[in-house]
Amino acid sequence: MFPSEKGVVTNMSMQPVDRKAGPPQVSARASTPMPAPEAALDSASRTLFPPPAPAPHLVPTPVAPRPVWDGSSAANPTGGPFHAAAPRVYTTMVAGDIVAFTDARRDEEIRRHLRHRLYEDLREAFTMTLLPWDACYREDRGDGALIVVPPDAPPHLLLDPLAHHLQAMLRRGNRFASDPARMRVRMAVHSGHVEKDDHGVVGRAVNHLFRLVDAPRFREAAAGSGAELSMIASDLLYDEVLSSRGVLFPELYRQVEVSCKETTARGWIWLSPGGCFPDPAATPDQA
């Protein structure tokens, strides 16, 4: 029996060889067809040994997409807290300045280095505080930066938690720095309504924020304290967090009256560990 080209088995009968008559005559009789090898495997046999399931730790876990602000901003094209239909929002904002940025001991290379460090330290501190750095609106201010966080960011995170994390970043970067390259930062935090236009952000809250960070009394306290980070919180934000959250450490803050240009207001100064208040008029709050 020999298989034919079409998969049909053929019975071959051979006649006796007659050398004078020539080659033997071959007659073929078809028998029952035999399926081709690939046809012999039905669907059940193909799945008899299914491939092994992947190990549990190799199975990809669905990840929910991270919310992204769909608003646009002139200074931060990747997004920000301003929705196109609602350019005015109530939120919390931060202003940071490098202390003595124009010190004569600092050349242009050192100033560029400090600017780079400021943004890197802020980014890491925001990440450690669980504040969405990439979703914040940011404006560069030469020797500092303005940062407006999304409206749903918990405001209390911008006080003690952010201050402690930023101070840790500053201390790490200053460990092996020369004296001119050591960085100290003044920071102000405030809450209020902010509007965005094609050139940046505006509003009374933004003005008040920079009145706080530029107030001579705060600048003097930061310069004379020796602290790597000096923070001033607006009275509005401090009272809001203290009364509704109760997560502050009031004993770490000093109440001061600040005056800058046409603004006179009360603020709350926080100094990083190791700093001291040189101004005796800045007394602890006794309330």
> Rounded to an integer, what distance in angstroms lies between the CA atom of residue 286 and that of residue 269?
15
Domains, the chain: 2-58 (no CATH), 88-271 (3.30.70.1230)
- Give the closest residue to 237 by CA, choosing from 205, 271, 280, 284: 205
Q: What's the pTM?
A: 0.68
Instruction: Give 159's contacts (C-beta < 8 A, 6+ positions apart).
Output: 189, 231, 233, 237, 238, 241, 248, 270
Decide: 68 and 48 in contact? Cβ < 8 Å: no
Owner of token pair 């802020």: 122
pLDDT in tens, the chain (287 residues): 555 555 554 555 555 555 555 555 555 455 555 555 554 445 544 555 566 666 555 555 554 444 433 333 434 444 567 665 557 889 999 999 999 998 999 999 999 999 999 999 999 999 999 999 999 999 998 889 999 999 999 999 999 999 999 999 999 999 999 999 999 999 999 999 999 888 889 999 999 999 999 999 999 888 888 889 999 999 999 999 988 766 778 888 999 998 888 888 899 999 987 667 665 544 444 33
